[in-house]
Chains A and B, each alone.
Chain A
Amino acid sequence: MHVSHSLLTWVAAILTIGIFSFLWKDNPFYKFCEHLFVGVSIGYGIAVTWYNGVYPDLVTPLFRQGKPLYIIPLVLGLCYFCRFIPRVSWLIRFPMAFTIGWGMGVAIPANFQTSIVKQIQGTLLTPAIFARWDVLLWAIISFVGVICTVFYFFFSREHKGALRLASQTGVVYLMVGFGASFGYTVMARMSLLIGRLQFILRDWLGVIK
Chain B
Amino acid sequence: MKRNVPLAICLGFGIVMMVQFFVPHPISVGFYDLTTKWVRIVSAFALVLGVGSFLMYHTEKLRRRRTGWLYSIVALVAAAVSTVVGLAWGVKQTSPLQNYIFTPLLVPLNASMFAILAFYMASAAYRAFRARTKESALLLIAAFIVMLGMVPLGAAIWHRLPDLAEWILSVPNMAAKRAITFGVALGGIATALKVILGIERGWLGGGKQ
A residues with a Cβ closer than 8 A to B are 8-9, 11-13, 15-16, 19-20, 22-23, 31-54, 57-58, 69-70, 72-74, 76-78, 80-81, 83-84, 89-90, 93-112, 115-116, 119, 122-123, 138, 141-146, 149-150, 152-153, 170-187, 189-190, 192-193, 195-196, 199
Does B46 interact with chain A (Cβ within 8 Å)? yes
Q: Given A43-B81, A47-B91, A149-B179, verify A101-B11 contact (CB < 8 Å).
A: yes
Q: How far is the CA of A80 from the CA of B53 in the complex (A)?
A: 12
Is the beta-carbon distance between A186 and B104 smaller than 8 angstroms? no
Q: Given the known A-B contacts A35-B75, A36-B78, A185-B121, are A76 and B68 also in contact in the complex, defined by CB atoms under 8 Å?
A: no
- Other-chain residue from A19, A100, A145 in contact with B113 (beta carbon distance below 8 A): A19
Distance A142 CA – B176 CA, assembled complex (angstroms): 9
Within 8 A of A (CB), among B77-123: 77-87, 90-91, 97, 99-119, 121-122
Question: A141 to chain B: which residues have CB within 8 Å?
Answer: 171-172, 175
Q: Which residues of A contact B204 (CB under 8 A)?
A: 93
User: Interface majority SS on A: helix, strand, loop or mixed?
Assistant: helix
Q: Complex Cα distance A44/B87, Å?
A: 9
Complex alpha-carbon distance, A51 and B97, angstroms: 12
Select from chain B the residue with minimum beta-carbon distance to A38.
Answer: B75
Residue numbers in B under 8 Å from A8 (CB-CB): 99-100, 103-104
- Name A72's closest neighbour in chain B (CB-CB): B38
B184 proximity list for chain A (CB < 8 A):
115
Instruction: Check if B138 is an interface residue, CB within 8 A of chain A.
Output: yes
Q: How many residues of B contact A (CB 8 A)?
A: 126
The residues of B that contact A123 with a CB separation of less than 8 Å are 175, 178
The minimal Cβ–Cβ distance linking A74 to chain B, given in whole angstroms, is 7
Task: Report yes or no: A108 in contact with B115, Cβ–Cβ below 8 A.
Answer: no
B residues near A (Cβ < 8 Å) are 2-3, 5-7, 9-18, 20-22, 34-35, 37-52, 54, 68, 71-72, 74-87, 90-91, 97, 99-119, 121-122, 125, 135-136, 138-147, 150-151, 165, 167-186, 188-189, 192-193, 195-196, 203-205, 209
Q: Which residues of A contact B140 (CB under 8 A)?
A: 179
Residues of A within 8 A of B108 (CB): 12-13, 15-16, 19, 196, 199
- If A80-B48, A176-B138 touch, does A98 touch B38 (CB 8 Å cutoff)? yes
Nearest-Cβ distance from residue A18 to partner chain B, whole angstroms: 8
- Contact (Cβ within 8 A) B45 A77: yes
Task: Name the residue on A nearest B205 (C-beta).
Answer: A93
Q: Complex formed: what's the CA distance from A146 to B192 in Å? A: 25
Closest to B8 in A: A97
Instruction: Determine the residue in chain A with the shortest Cβ distance to B179.
Output: A149
A44 near B176 with CB under 8 A, answer no
Take A101-B12, A108-B18, A111-B189 as given contacts and tell me if A192 and B115 are in contact as well, using a CB distance cutoff of 8 Å.
Answer: yes
CB-defined A-B contacts under 8 Å, sample of 6:
A47-B83, A109-B18, A144-B175, A150-B179, A150-B183, A189-B114
Query: Are B17 and A96 in contact (CB-based, < 8 A)?
Result: no
Known A53-B40, A138-B170; 14 more pairs at CB < 8 Å: A20-B116, A44-B106, A57-B37, A76-B45, A89-B209, A93-B2, A97-B7, A97-B10, A122-B178, A173-B176, A176-B142, A183-B142, A189-B117, A196-B112
Q: Are B13 and A98 in contact (CB under 8 A)?
A: yes
